[in-house]
Structure 1
Amino acid sequence: MTTVVAESVTQLSAFSDPASVAVVGASADPAKWGYWLASGALTGEHRRRVHLVNRRTDTLLDHACHPTLSALPDVPDLVALCVPAPFVSDVVDEALALGVRGFLGVTAGVTDEAELASRIRSAGARLVGTNSLGIYDSATDLSLAWGRFTPGPLAIISQSGQLGSELAALGARHGVGVSRFVSIGNQSDVTAAELLADLGNHDPTRVIALYLESFRDGESLFRTLRALRDTGKPTLLLTVGASAASTRLARSHTGSLTSALDVVDAACRAAGVLRVSTPDELVTVARAFLATTVPAGDRVAIVGDSGGQCAVAADVTSANTLTVPGLSQALTESLAGRLPSGAASSNPVDLAGAGEQDLGSYADVVECLLSADESDAVVLTGYFGCYARDAPALAEREAAVAERIGRASAETGKPVVVHTMAPESSTAQVLWRHGVPVFDTIDSASRALAGLSRLRPPVPPNQAPSETVPQGPLRPGYWAARELLAELGVDFPDGGVVRTREEAVELAGRLRAPWVLKASWLEHKSEAGGVAVGIAGTQHLVRSFDDMHARLGDGDYVLEEQDTRSGTVEILVGARRDPDLGPVIVVGAGGTETEVLQDIALEVAPVGPESALAMLERLRCMPLLRGWRGRPAASVDSLVGVITRVSRLITERTDIAEIELNPVRVAPDGALTVDALVVAAEPAPAP
């Protein structure tokens, strides 16, 4: 037996188009993994050599069976491991000695699988799994998985094999087949990011379904997803809240306010990835994406033939973060001229029986709305699609209207999504063929359109200012944080460090009263009684210092001028380094009630001025910054500057785990930070 490995096998090619496959643990029992992998492998026998290995029989599934890998006539590119866990290590050692370069690990419960994966990598080989449900590639007729797949444009990369199978089954039920399926299992070696990157040149793949429970090396993962989106292949991500990214840094408000999914959602926005909540939602959006175009914006025009269905559609659409804007007077009048007297024409547009008078009115109204620059998409809801079912004589006429709607959508580049009471009708099939997705509920139609809207290519990130961030060792305490941030360009009140009553009195003579006294070394000063505000004179200062010193002891105390400007708004600006997904920036309503208000926005860092302003616009407290009930507007530009600088600091200083400025007091004449915390990252563990 030769030990020469086929030259075509390079890294991951063994898992997509191997020249030869060996199934170790092949079986004739349909209840066993060995049957499904063996029978699946044999479906690709016209393309590659398939070897079955089972020491108990000479023949299996009408094919010759070999007792060991060493008995094969040639070295397989890929070995599928479906033997009991105690035997996996020995089979791997035998395969590595022969020169095998690819392993699919189906077996679960393998002892010390990390060591096994390391042994495989050290030999120049790769492993998908362990605990994998298998792999499939429609382009190369490779099927090594439990179950069978229908070919199509949807690639599925799933940490859960069974959930991946559910996605494939849901897709097949709705006419969306699978281009490639990889159950990554425990990711002992080959990672999701590597498999996703390999989809960039996979021609059958048009959209990607990704299920992950953890985000190991998440920064690399989302860079890969961004690159895929740039090639026109968007990813629909299904995940759960208990991921590895849920590790929180609870030493500040920033750490306690944000969750795993907040960070994942920020990474998704930056990469142009859509996070969905259920397998059904994923398949619903995938179907729509494969059928039609992505809308340029969130404005939706609603057309129906029932006032009630129009009203429900408007409510559901608005609840899905889309907008249903009123139409201009000119467009309203144009629509009214096409409809019976009394029909609603302002959005939603209710045909009020026009369809019964002339089926073409459905297309007339949709074409009018699509040609106007007042909406980015149209939802058609109600009875359309039922004429062919309920009155077969009208089938041909209704199909012609459906074709007109499809042509109008294609010509304008705006999607039309249809909710019909007859999703199984011949008209519904005509709509699908002409690029108009059809759903049986308004909920599904609205979710599909909302998902399409969020699949718009991500806006290239505007860059944060490129000034050099301050370097040097990190020191604990507020004063050290203040010095670091001040060097970055963040403004603080005038003040200084004092250690005695006499030093406090001397410094106060150079500062404007009232003053604030703080125990610099405390992270949560208010809770520990480490801050005194409104100190108006020397005697008051002496009493405050003596009281704080008696309770807290020696240390660096900070005396500052108190910010007494009118019209200030307190804002939190924080940043943290997520252990899996990297640096993020957080803004929100600040002050001592931050956790109560829970008014925050989070993005991947760094952010530039436009992104920082967009974050502020998402806050419920933004009207306070703009000027509320006659109050002057605060200096939003100065706050934006603070946000961009802090985002740059957390990005470039990898020795920083967390930063918090709370509150940043923003007034018409600028932003002053009156408390800050910088937390050093834990040292990397020794190898």
Structure 2
Amino acid sequence: MNELFDPASVVVVGASANPAKWGYWLARGALRGAHRRKVHLVNRSGAVVDGVPSVPSLDRLPEAPELAVLCVPAPALDGVLSQALDLGVRAFVAITAGLDREREQELAARVRAAGARLVGPNCLGIYDSTTSLELAWGTFTPGSLGIVSQSGQLGLELAGLAAQAGMGVSRFVSVGDQVDVTAAEVLAGLAGHDATAAVLLYLESFRDGRALVETLVRLREAGKPVVVLTVGASRAGREAARSHTGALTAGTEVVEAACRAAGAILVQTPAQAVDVAQLLVHTGGLAGERRRASGGWRVAIVGDSGGQGALAADVLARHGLSLPALPDGTANPLDLAGAGERDLGTYSAVIEPLLASGEVDAVVLTGYFASYGADTPALARAELDVVAALGDLVRRHGRPVVVHSMTRDSAAVRALRERGIPVYATIDQVGWALARPSPVAPARSAPPGPASPGRGWGYLEARHLLSGYGVPYGKAMGVKADGDVASAVRGMRGPYVVKAGWLEHKTEVGGVAVGVTDPAAAIRRLRDRLGDGEYVIEELDGRDGVVELVVGGRRDPSFGPVVAVGIGGTASEVYADVTVELAPVDAGTAEAMLRRLRGFPLLDGWRGARKADLRAAAEAVAAVSRLIAERDDVAECEVNPLRVGPDGAVAVDALVVTREEGR
């Protein structure tokens, strides 16, 4: 897509001399790159922008530009596009909004048929600092942060917040409605974009989610971590399916699983996105990779105020950061108690042995530092000397220093950021940002895509399929309402459970009898209410001290097969305690899912109880994940409950739903 980001020539169609109009911003931005490329302006009234005249139509141009920016009313777009394609233009940025979906699809088809590419429509534009390409509304500061956004204005907000945090933009793409060029394609291009150190991604919808995950993995492997912001993701995934897990796994939880699989960092607000990006950009990736031997950052806190140091310790601990004892019994947090004011060099002198000790992964400096020179100009030079020393220490020891300063902007703040030391206005931002960066997860192969729910299997049939993948079940037999019950239970151990095998949610309609000693009588009572059908007689799992889990797999409309596990049983929706991963997972990842549950202490010997067999539970979760990943005819599958005790796991229900014929 060279013509999009470094064209030899560009035309702005709809250029305007009115500073309040889009055409003015686009024309003015294009002209700022006139030293690198030929710039043409089209305006039917012959407007002059910054001294450069426009021509009334595309056919009056002296050549066919490589890139055309279309900023025209929606009714005029078809004609302008056709004229540009006939002229030989092969790259487009369509700002125009207000097209219906059918017109957008027609537009995309015509562009693709001509071998051209199009960003948009309904977008804010594009920017590339390395090629002097400014074809967007707004003002951008050059830097090393790539921004790809489905919402143009939110992308502009991200760029503005980044500038306030001392970061500039390497490439900005507002993808708009993505009728042709997708966010995944733009992201793939950033993997080889040397100026980009980290990426901010905002998406509202995830089309081919698995392909997006693979692209994010490639970016991370290229040393370009990605921060993801979304809202209302995968709305279709929130529609309650037939299973409990379908009702429990919201779209955002699936996006969280996708980010874990990709090694990307999911945040909730633009400010959070920029806070994390600052840590990643200014530390050159140290923040993303340094921490993980003990599962979390080991942080030393250095403060020039006892109160601020103590508060920093509380905040960082709440975010799951570790505050180890420091060498030689030094307290953590370490309070300079006025030593910094007496000699600013104390800051670097104290921090150096901490970075060199190998006992901490990062140092947080909290308090007044970076304010000295702003408040007392006579101290400005000495403070900048300390900044230089801290920058040298970070490079030498390969561990980050993160600063919380009482001043938002000063010469020292700017110098810290220039030397790879992130600076935050609040200690809350420090804790949140340090807690977010995650390690790279292995890339996963893309399993079959989404399927539509359709026919539900009978209980015995579903049980047989799940059992074949490794889900453990007790003995069971099926029998018709008037069948030979005595033969069915031969070799089985009572008491029993009797179930109406053709019903999906049996408990809700009274289709289950538990603790049965006379299965024939139980079947007669059920038949009187529910009618004829196949009833299943199953050995009762009567173990004490078990924990009930719900384990399910389904097909997310965007990300394909996912597996979920939560605290289960009939009250699973009440607990709403569930964790999700893209399927398939191995037993190790499944165990990590179990440990993330709020109810995990129930499995881990809560209040003196014996610990449940975590490995058996994890293997059952992995088995369900393999089924949903490998069987593309299955839309959903579920075990609820999976009863896990100290001596293993037993599944006592089964649900399998296949997709509808021909879908």
Change (3 A) 1:51 1:153: same
Q: Say if 1:140 and 1:594 are closer, same or farther in 2 by CA, change over 3 A.
A: same
In the alignment, does 2:6 pair up with 1:25? Answer: no
1:88-487 aligned at under 5 Å gives the runs 88-111=77-100, 112-244=103-235, 246-292=237-283, 293-294=286-287, 295-297=290-292, 298-319=297-318, 321-327=319-325, 331-333=327-329, 335=330, 345=331, 347-356=332-341, 358-451=343-436, 454=437, 456-460=438-442, 476-487=457-468
One-letter code aligned to 2:322:
V
**Take 1:434 and 1:176, find their aligned partners in 2: how far apart are those partners?**
12
The root-mean-square deviation of aligned C-alpha atoms, in Å, is 2.4
Distance 1:440 1:489, change over 3 A: closer
TM-score, length-scaled by structure 2: 0.92
Query: 1:178-197, CA deviations, whole angstroms, 9 ceiling, x for partnerless residues?
Result: 11111111112111111111
In structure 2, the partner of 1:41 is 30
| Distance change (3 Å), C-alpha of 1:126 and 1:394 | closer
CA contact (8 A) 1:462 1:611 kept: no
Between 543-552 and 281-290, the greater mean CA deviation after superposition: 281-290
> Residue 415 of structure 1 aligns to which amino acid in structure 2?
P
State the partner residue of 2:451: none
Q: Quick one: which amino acid aligns to residue 372 of structure 2? A: Y
Q: 1:13 aligns to what?
A: 2
Distance 1:49 1:232 in 2: 34
Give per-residue Cα distances to partners, 1:4-62, cap 9 Å, x unaligned.
xxxxxxxx222111222222222222222222222222222222222222233286553
What runs of 5+ residues in structure 2 fail to find an aligned partner?
A: 448-453
SS in 2 for 1:256: helix
Unmatched segments (≥5 aa) in structure 1: 1-11, 336-344, 467-472
TM-score scaled by length of structure 1: 0.89
Q: Which residue of 2 aligns with 1:338?
A: none
| Mapped pair 1:511 → 2:492 | yes
The 1:634–1:170 alpha-carbon spacing in structure 2 relative to 1, beyond 3 Å, is: closer
Instruction: Tell me the secondary structure at the aligned position of residue 527 of structure 1.
Output: helix
The correspondence for 1:495, drawn from 469, 473, 476, is: 476
Sequence identity of aligned pairs in percent?
53
CA distance in 2, matches of 1:317, 1:683: 53
How many angstroms apart in 1 are the aligned matches of 2:630 and 2:33?
A: 50
SS in 1 for 2:354: helix
Cα gap change, 1:630 to 1:117, in 2 (>3 Å): same
Number of equivalences: 647
* Structure 2 counterpart of 1:535, from 506, 516, 519: 516
Give, in angstroms, the shift of residue 461 of structure 1.
6.3
Once the two structures are superposed, the pairs formed by residues 41-80 of structure 1 within 5 Å of their partners are: 41-57=30-46, 61-80=50-69
How far apart, CA to CA, are the structure 2 residues paired with 1:355 and 1:57?
A: 64
Q: Is the 8 A contact 1:301 1:369 kept in 2?
A: yes
| SS in structure 2 of the partner of residue 485 of structure 1 | helix
Distance 1:307 1:227 in 2: 44
Does the 8 Å contact 2:605/2:612 carry over to 1? yes
Q: Is the Cα–Cα contact under 8 Å of residues 463 and 607 in structure 1 kept in the other structure?
A: no
Deviates more, 1:23-32 or 1:404-413: 404-413
| Superposition deviation, residue 449 in structure 1 | 2.3
Out of 503, 509, 516, the residue aligned to residue 522 of structure 1 is 503
Check the 8 A contact 1:170/1:280 in 2, yes or no. Answer: yes
Indicate whether 1:597 and 2:575 are aligned: yes
Alpha-carbon distance in 2 for matches of 1:61, 1:361:
54
Q: Do the aligned partners of residues 314 and 509 (structure 1) sit closer, same or farther apart at CA in structure 2, a change above 3 Å counting?
A: same
How many Å separate the matches in 1 of 2:443 and 2:613? Answer: 23
Q: What is the CA deviation profile of residues 195-242 of structure 1, one whole-angstrom value per residue up to 9, with x for unaligned ones?
A: 111111111111111111111111111210110011011111111125
Amino acid at match of 1:664: L
Aligned 8 A contact 1:462 1:610 in 2? no
Verify the 8 A CA contact 1:244 1:580 in the aligned structure 2. Answer: no
Q: Does 1:669 align with 2:650?
A: no
The separation in 2 between residues aligned to 1:325 and 1:480, in whole angstroms, is: 53
Indicate the SS of the match to 1:108: coil
Higher RCO (CA 8 Å, separation ≥ 6 residues): 2
CA deviation profile, 1:92-131 (whole Å, cap 9, x unmatched): 2222223321221111112421122122212222211111
Q: Give the residue type in structure 1 aligned to 2:54.
A: C
Match of 1:569 in 2: 547
CA contact (8 A) 2:234 2:558 kept: no
Task: For residue 431 of structure 2, give the secondary structure of its aligned residue in structure 1.
Answer: helix
Distance 1:428 1:17, change over 3 A: closer
Q: Which amino acid aligns with 2:210?
A: E
* Aligned counterparts, 1:554-565, within 5 A: 554-565=532-543
Worse overlay, 238-247 or 39-48: 238-247
CA deviations 1:375-417 (Å, max 9, x no partner) are 2212111123333344444444444443333333322221111
1:423 to partner: Cα distance: 4.0
The one-letter code of the counterpart of 1:230 is: E
Report SS of the residue matched to 2:507: coil
